[in-house]
Structure formats: C-alpha cells, structure tokens
Amino acid sequence: IDGCSGRERIVVMTPVASGEVVSGKTLIRTVTPEAKVAVAVNPDSTIIPVTRSNGILTAAVLPMGGVIPGHAAVLRMDGWTWEDLSLEPDAGLMINWPSMRTFRAPWMRTSEEDQQSRVREQVARIDSVFDDAVAYFASVGADANIADDLRYDGMRAVLDGGKPVFIRAGQREQIESAVLWAVGRGLRPVIVGGADAEECAELLKRHDVGVIITGTLSEPSRRDEAYDAPFTLPARLEAAGVKWCLAGPGGSFETPHERNLPYHAAMAVAYGLDHDRAIEAITLSAAELLGVSDRVGSLEVGKNATLIVTDGDPLEITTNVELAFIEGRAIDLGNKQTALAEKYREKYRQLGLIEGDAEGAESHGGSGIPVSR
C-alpha cells in the first residue's frame, strides 16, 4: 500500500537487454475495497506525538486516492503497533465521488461531452463494485464452496447498513448525486468535505445524512463566494439543522498540521457558532458520525477515560495542554519539537546566557516517549 493513499502499487518486472535489470513501471489500482488504512499507519511516526501534544487523542484516518480506496479507521494516538492504535479498525468504506461538473479552459483538451462520459463511467464503476459484492454474498449464501474474495468480505457490514460509507464530495451536484445513489442502495452515507452542504440541507435532513466538514481555515471554493464562506459553514449547517462535525483539512500535506483542529473550531466560533457547540463538533459529534460514541466523545460513566486537562480555553491558541489520558493511561506530551527546544535551551544555559533548570522537560516528557509505554 502506498502510504495512506489507498492505492495499491503493483510492480511490473520488465526485462531489458541484459536480462538482469528491471524497470520500475507501476500499475495503480483505483478500486481497492479490501484495503485497510489502519495497517498502513506508522505507529512510530513523529507526527503522532506532535498531534496529541495539542490535545488530539483520537483520530479518524480516511484513505485517499482512487475511486474506492478502502476502509477508514479510528485510531488512538498512542501505541506500539497498528493494533494498539486501533480503536475501530474498520469504521466504514471510503468513496471518492467524481466531480459532476464540466469546465472549459484554454489548456483543456477534453470536450464537455467527454467529461460527462467519464463521470458516467466512474459512477458506473462504483455501481459495479457494489453489484459484484451483492452477487458475491448471494452466491456464498447459496454455495459454501465458493472461495473467499477479500475485495468484498469487508463490505458486508456496509451493505447491511451496520457501517457507514464515507463519500468525499464538496460540490452541490456531487453531494446530491452521492446521497441519492447511497440511499437508493440502502447504504448509510456520511459526506466528507461538504463545502456546498448548506445548499443540500433539505436532502441531507430528509435522509439523516451527516457531514464531516474538512476544516474552516481555507479559502472560498469559488470566485463568487463570500470570503468567509468556509468560516461560516459550521454555523450555517447548525442553523439549517444538518448533522455535522468538524475535522482538519486532511490530505498528505496537511497531516503534520492536524494538531490545529481546535483552531478550526475557534474560527467557526468567531464567525457565529456557539462556543460549546464548537467543542461538541470536535468531540461527541465526530464520535457519533464515526460510530464510536459508545466509547469516546464525552465524559460519561462507562466510556473510555480519554480526556485532556488544559490551563485555559482549549480553543485558544495560547492555551497549553497540561495532562492527557487515553483510556485512563497518562500520556507523555513530549515530542520531537519539545525535545529540540530543551536541547537548545540547555546549550544557552551552559553558555550562561539563560538561567534556571530544564523547564517542563520531565513534566511534558522531553524524550517524546509515551508514559503509557
């Protein structure tokens, strides 16, 4: 698996003149419903301690790339292996819905008719995967001798409605098409992105479809939108009565910045969202849409003791996380950044340029090694 992109790379061994060297040609499969993103996460990544040091203790990991890149997961931000990290290793199936719009540009060589044809082909491809999965389970039920097919075995819970199907869609046409397709198949859709979700509010409410907003700290998606459209989207969806939660922007380039999730919520508060609702949007509401609200998301008897203690409002950029617990275990808040900061403070202490002992090196875990380990 190519990182967390959900794309399976199949190396093609191509002999050349000498018969000994191979070239690195690659075939990329864009439909991999058998892929599990949980196993592709590196537990030793230095990004994990950096993220949890700002209070992010549970994270949804959604595969990217392709049409059906695989199954999403909900992970704890502490563990030796991917099994240790996994709170819910199979949270649902991810689908990247094709853009339903056509466009023209001086550099564009594809006609609008061809663009529309490609959209129909992509939707038909998604349809065929689900048709094949339904046929597979019907065949297995009728004949126990049919061999297992890993592509479809993990789709049973999705087809039965036990697990959601996460559909990445931002444009109004995308959202409408995706919701109607999923509902028509008896699936339980959750929209990921949802920039135009307010325009589809009635449809989303009618079918009880939730939206995972991917960040507020961004620019408008269209030139004719208000400058603050991303900032006000949470408040607008709340006013419209749509189920929603707030996530980071996602994407491989944004992974190091997922620690900024509280500030996405803070921006929504600055543009009309109630403060307590903003806290709920990155805790309980997120847990509900991800199917783990029976374990995390709020402080209730019987749930996991996963929580943070701060020295101020958790949405304020000046606030520090003083303590963190995952399922009752004290978690070290040190990371590579705090270790480097302490290293160079020590340099200046030895030079006599600053005074005092190592501040916070022990209490915040300057080593970056989790206490729970």
What amino acid occupies position 87?
A: L
The pairing of strands 70-76 and 86-96 is: antiparallel
Q: At 361, is the pLDDT very low, low, confident or very high (cuts 50, 70, 90)?
A: very low
Mean pLDDT of 327-352: 95
How far, in Å, CA of 367 to CA of 313, rounded?
A: 27
Task: Give pLDDT, residue 357.
Answer: 61
Q: At 17, is the pLDDT very low, low, confident or very high (cuts 50, 70, 90)?
A: very low
Find the range with the poorest average confidence among 19-28, 65-74, 120-129, 158-167. 19-28
pLDDT at 104 over 80: no
What's the chain's average pLDDT? 88
Q: At 373, is the pLDDT very low, low, confident or very high (cuts 50, 70, 90)?
A: very low
How far, in Å, CA of 107 to CA of 85, rounded?
A: 45
Which is more confident, 159 or 22? 159
Task: Give pLDDT, residue 107.
Answer: 77
Residue 47 CB coordination number (10 Å): 16
How far, in Å, CA of 277 to CA of 320, rounded?
A: 21
Task: Give pLDDT, residue 298.
Answer: 97
pLDDT at 91 over 90: yes
- Cα distances from 247 to residues 35, 251, 345, in angstroms, run 23, 12, 35
Task: Give pLDDT, residue 367.
Answer: 41
Q: At 28, is the pLDDT very low, low, confident or very high (cuts 50, 70, 90)?
A: low
For 7, residues 6+ apart whose C-beta sits below 8 A from its C-beta are 1, 28, 29, 30, 32, 65, 66, 69
Task: Say if CB 276 and CB 284 are below 8 A apart.
Answer: no
pLDDT at 6 over 50: no
pLDDT at 46 over 90: yes
**Sign of the CA dihedral running 278, 279, 282, 287:** negative
Token pair 């929209």 in the structure block, residue: 191
**What is the tens place of the pLDDT at every residue in 200-235?**
999 999 999 999 999 999 999 889 999 999 999 999
Task: Say if CB 343 and CB 334 are below 8 A apart.
Answer: no
Share of the chain above pLDDT 90, in %: 73
Walk me through the domains of the chain, giving residue ranges and CATH numbers.
Answer: 30-305 (3.20.20.140)
Task: Give pLDDT, residue 9.
Answer: 36
For 217, residues 6+ apart whose C-beta sits below 8 A from its C-beta are 230, 249, 260, 263, 264, 267
**Sign of the CA dihedral running 170, 173, 179, 181:** negative
What amino acid occupies position 367?
A: S
Residue 229 CA to chain centroid, in angstroms?
Answer: 22
The pairing of strands 8-15 and 58-61 is: unpaired
How far, in Å, CA of 154 to CA of 195, rounded?
A: 30
How far, in Å, CA of 283 to CA of 308, rounded?
A: 12
**What are the helix (H) ranges across the chain?**
47-52, 82-85, 112-142, 150-153, 156-159, 172-184, 201-206, 229-240, 261-270, 275-281, 284-290, 336-350
How far, in Å, CA of 12 to CA of 62, rounded?
A: 28
